[in-house]
Each structure stands twice: as C-alpha cells, then as structure tokens.
Amino acid sequence: MKNETNNEETDDYMTNDKIAQPGIYSTRRKLNECVANNVIDKCWRCKPDWAQNRQALAQCACGFAKGTTGGQGGEIYMVIDPSDDAENPKIGTLRYGAIQNKPLWIVFEKDMIISLKHELVINKDKTIDGRGVKVEIANGAGFTLPNVSNVIIHGIHMHDINQTEGGLIKATEDQPAGMRYKSDGDGMAIFSSSKIWIDHCTLSRVVDGLIDVTLGSTAVMISNCKFSNHSKVMLLGADDGYLDDKNMQVTVAFNLFTEGCDQRMPRCRLGFFQVVNNNYDGWGSYAIGGSSAPTILSQGNKFKAPDGANIKNVLRRADAPEAESMKWNWRTEKDVLENGAIFLASGADPTLTSEQQGCMIQAEPGESVANLTNAAGVLTCLVGQPC
C-alpha cells in the first residue's frame, strides 16, 4: 500500500525511543515524515497545521457516519477546568460546553483527568477533540448521547468508569437540571441518536459496556479505537424485541481489540453492520456475535484466535435454533484467520441499497490490518507537526 508523506525535505532523523506514538516513525525515518495507513487517517494526520484547522476533521467522517459534522461551523470552546458539577455546570468545564444548544468544537487547554460525578449528557452538534493534550475520563461516570445527532468524539482516553447514583443533571443549556436515574456504568451510551462518530479513543475497564449503541440509533461509525481489559466491549442493539433497530447501520473499522477483551466486538441485533479491517488479537468467549438476524459483513479483518481448543470460533449466534441462525447473512471477505481461528459464514451476500453502497468502506486485505491499525487509540499529537 502506498503511504502518504509530507513533502518537507530534511536530513534529520528520529528514533523510536524519542517519541511516544508507535506507528508514526520507524527506527530510521526522517523527522516530520508522516505515515497514515488507513483512509480516515490519510484525510488529516499528515497535515502539520491540523491544530490551526481542527474542524477539517469533520470532512474525514465516512462509513455510515458519513456527513457527520459534529461542532463544525461553531466556535472553539476551551476546557480549562477539570471539575464537574452536574446540576450547575461551570463555564470552562467539559460539561458546560457539552450541554450548549449551539454547535461547538470542544478542545482542552492542558492535560487533565476528569472524574464525572454523574453521566455527561452530550447535546447535538458537538465535537469533543482531545488532540494535542492527554485527556482522561476516569474514576467516575461516562458519556451519554440521548436522542441527538452530529456528535464527534475524538482522542479521549476513557477508563475505570463506575456506576453513579441518579440525581439532578443539566442536559441542555436552556432547561433546568432534571432527575436522571442511576447510570449503568457504560463508557459511552448512545441511544435514539444518529450521525455519531467515535475515532481514536482508548477504552478499558468500565462496569457495563465500553460502547453501547441502542434504541433506534443509526448512522454510527466507531473507528481507530483501542479496546482492552474488558468483558462486554461493544453492544449494537440491546433488545431482540426493539424492532426499530432493524434500521440501525453501524461501521466498525480500523480498531484494535487486544489484551483482556472477552466478547462483543461487536454483538449485533437486527440491523446492518460493516466490520472492516479490524485487528483481533485474541478473545475470551468469542469476537463477533449477535441475534435476531442482523446482517454482518466481516471484511478484511485479522482474527488471531486465543490458545485453547474450545474458543477458536470467531462467531457466536445466540437466541435461535441453528437451522434458523445459519440463514442469517454473516459473510466473510478478505479476512485472515490465525492460530486456528474459525469463521463459519452463513446466509448470502446481501443486496445493498444505493445509500449503503455509498457508505461502505473499501476493505483492504486482512494481511494489511497490522499497518492499518498500528496507530489505534489516542494519538500523541504535537502542535505544528503531523499527528
């Protein structure tokens, strides 16, 4: 695969022990030479002026989140205060920016750890952009995206998310704080929402799911993320009886599922899912599963099975007799199966609508996945340099 680089000429070199981000520089690669291997990263990472043109990131949304604008066109809002007050958010905090009714592109002044006292309810037309600093959401509640559209979450490290008690939580700037129930302990809970893009985040160790997409949500992409040390990783559709999820369409692309991931990478119900060019470095129970006849297109993924004769199967079909579940359209194309991994395809290749065809990411061969995902998770970005 041809790599994109900038054109700046230099005789200086940098070695890997001098930088924090793997996958950007090789042992003897010229300083400031950028390598972005997948279609999303090629769109923005090799531009040294990314920090002066942050909102250009929205132009890189693709897959089923194609057209997601986030806070594009709005003001830049700077988070300067890591404290949290759910009932009366203070100006300068993340919560204050997230609840505004207007489009905002939210950035962070400095490295910070934010421990949310209650779930953070994110309003529509927002981008939360952690590039250039180290932002951790930890030791508190996670994010909730309820009945909103146009949200981008990029460059956030989320870990050790707990269940939090219910209470008065302000969800929009023009409404008083309302009573919300106890949170489940999800990292990111997306329900009844559309045009949502989660990119280059690192997630681990939460009480419930790292990312849940439910209750009629659609037009979602989860990309370039690193998942580790968690059982229930990603749930796409929470109830076999919630038939509105037949319209759910989600792209899962260029992610790394690594140490300590047990299952649900993802677990799907009812809808249409493209799982493309992801790196599965083992699993516990299974990698991809589902129920209620979802369509799952597995394309160009690398599945490295864990050791152990009983857990070689990539897939798990649930809540239906085998005679029925083997009719579901679970397809494999360009996948690589390692260490005895087994992918038992079923059904037939689906007929795609013109809209679906326009949102499909072109799969690279599974042999390319190590390169495509070598920068998964939060990036180390320096202002004035390619990221």
Give the tens place of pLDDT for each residue, 162-201: 999 889 999 999 999 999 988 889 999 999 999 999 999 9
Round to whole Å and give the CA distance between 240 and 268.
10
> In DSSP terms, which residues pair with 234 in a beta bridge?
211
State mean pLDDT over 28-33.
Answer: 51
From the CB of residue 39, how many other CB atoms can be counted at a distance below 10 Å? 18
pLDDT for 7: 36
Is it the case that residue 20 has pLDDT exceeding 90?
A: no
Is it the case that residue 218 has pLDDT exceeding 90?
A: yes
Catalytic residues: 264
Give the tens place of pLDDT for each residue, 102-126: 999 999 999 999 999 999 999 999 9
Q: What is the model's pTM?
A: 0.91
Is it the case that residue 1 has pLDDT exceeding 60?
A: no
pLDDT for 4: 37
Round to whole Å and give the CA distance between 99 and 111.
22
State mean pLDDT over 33-53.
Answer: 94
Listing DSSP states for 94-140 in one string gives: HHHHHT-SS-EEEEESS-EEE-BSS-EEPPSSEEEE-TTS-EEEEEE
13-372 homologous superfamily:
Single-stranded right-handed beta-helix, Pectin lyase-like (2.160.20.10)
Q: Where do the structural domains in the chain lie, given as residue ranges? A: 13-372
Give the tens place of pLDDT for each residue, 291-335: 999 999 999 999 999 998 889 999 999 999 999 999 999 999 999
pLDDT for 6: 37
Give the tens place of pLDDT for each residue, 226-280: 999 999 999 999 999 999 999 999 999 999 999 999 999 999 999 999 999 999 9
State mean pLDDT over 275-289.
Answer: 98
pLDDT for 198: 99
State mean pLDDT over 140-162.
Answer: 98
pLDDT for 32: 56
Listing DSSP states for 324-378 in one string gives: HHTTS-EEEES-EEETT-B---BS-PPPPPHHHHHHPPPPPPGGGHHHHTTT-SS
State mean pLDDT over 69-96.
Answer: 98
State mean pLDDT over 69-80.
Answer: 98
DSSP-derived 3-state class of residue 319: coil
pLDDT for 261: 98
pLDDT for 181: 87
Computed over every residue of the chain, the mean pLDDT equals: 92
